[in-house]
Amino acid sequence: MGVVSRAGCGAWCPSFGGRCYACRGLITDPNNKAAKDVLSEFGLTLEQVMAEFQLFNGLTDPAKK
């Protein structure tokens, strides 16, 4: 979720082998093309990643777009 999340946490989770949980929230205007490129690079589908957005508070407005 790192490519669509707010910076500033110091990337603790990825630094220690975990996934980014967007602990500081989602950015309001994500670069959707870049995000899709990252998904493709790692062999992930949009559906797999959207399921991760449901971890906290369901799908938020920026994630629905």
pLDDT tens track for 30-58: 888 888 888 889 898 888 877 776 765 55
Q: What integer pLDDT is reported at residue 43 of this predicted model? A: 92
The CA distance from 59 to 51, in Å, is 9
Task: State which H helix or E strand residue 13 sits in.
Answer: helix 12-15
CB atoms within 10 A of CB 53: 18
pLDDT in tens, 12-26: 888 898 888 788 888
Is the pLDDT at 4 greater than 70? The verdict is yes
User: b/e per residue, 7-45, with b = 16+ CB within 10 A?
Assistant: eebeeebeeeeeebebeeeeeeeeeeeebeeeeeeeeee
The CA distance from 65 to 57, in Å, is 16
Model confidence at 10, pLDDT cuts 50, 70, 90, reads confident
Full-model pTM: 0.52
Q: Where are the domains of the chain?
A: 2-64
